[in-house]
């Protein structure tokens, strides 16, 4: 059962910061090398504001799953985070199979989500175990 009073706000902030920094680095490397015409970014600062909000929400959700699973420590947090990343991968795979996402976009998005959610799981698992 979810115990809201045990949610660690500092862990959520650390996770959100990690997500934002990692995302900035990952997408700069993956999309910043050359201007690929198949990827069109939205104009203006709203995408950055939304990215930060998504980082906080994602960190909160992972923290919730880690707590509900009773994951304490790096390994159990890694498992919870990896499972979240695998679910996201399956959704992207289905969309790719139906032609909604290109294979290149699939690999970029899946790489991002598998890595960051595994990292978030580990962070929240370690902090949950303290």
pLDDT by residue for the chain (130 residues), tens digit each? 677 777 899 999 999 999 999 998 988 887 766 566 666 777 788 988 999 999 999 999 999 999 999 999 999 999 999 999 999 999 999 999 999 999 999 999 999 999 999 999 999 999 998 8
Determine the 3-state secondary structure of 99 from DSSP: coil
For the chain, what's the residue count?
130
Would the pTM count as exceeding 0.75? yes
Q: What per-residue confidence (pLDDT) applies to 90?
A: 98
Q: Distance between CA atoms of 82 and 115, rounded to whole angstroms?
A: 8
- Phi and psi angles of residue 43, each rounded to the nearest 5 degrees, phi first: -90, 155
CB 7 within 8 A of CB 42: no
């Amino acid at each position: 059962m979810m115990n809201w009073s045990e949610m660690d706000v500092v862990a959520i902030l650390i996770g959100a910061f990690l997500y934002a920094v990692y995302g900035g680095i990952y997408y700069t490397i993956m999309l910043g090398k050359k201007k690929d015409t198949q990827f069109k970014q939205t104009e203006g600062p709203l995408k950055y504001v939304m990215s930060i909000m998504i980082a906080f929400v994602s960190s909160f959700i992972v923290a919730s799953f880690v707590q509900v699973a009773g994951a304490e420590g790096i390994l159990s947090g890694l498992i919870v985070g990896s499972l979240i990343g695998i679910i996201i991968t399956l959704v992207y795979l289905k969309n790719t199979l139906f032609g909604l996402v290109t294979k290149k976009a699939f690999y970029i998005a899946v790489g991002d989500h598998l890595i960051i959610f595994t990292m978030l799981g580990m962070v929240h698992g370690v902090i949950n175990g303290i």
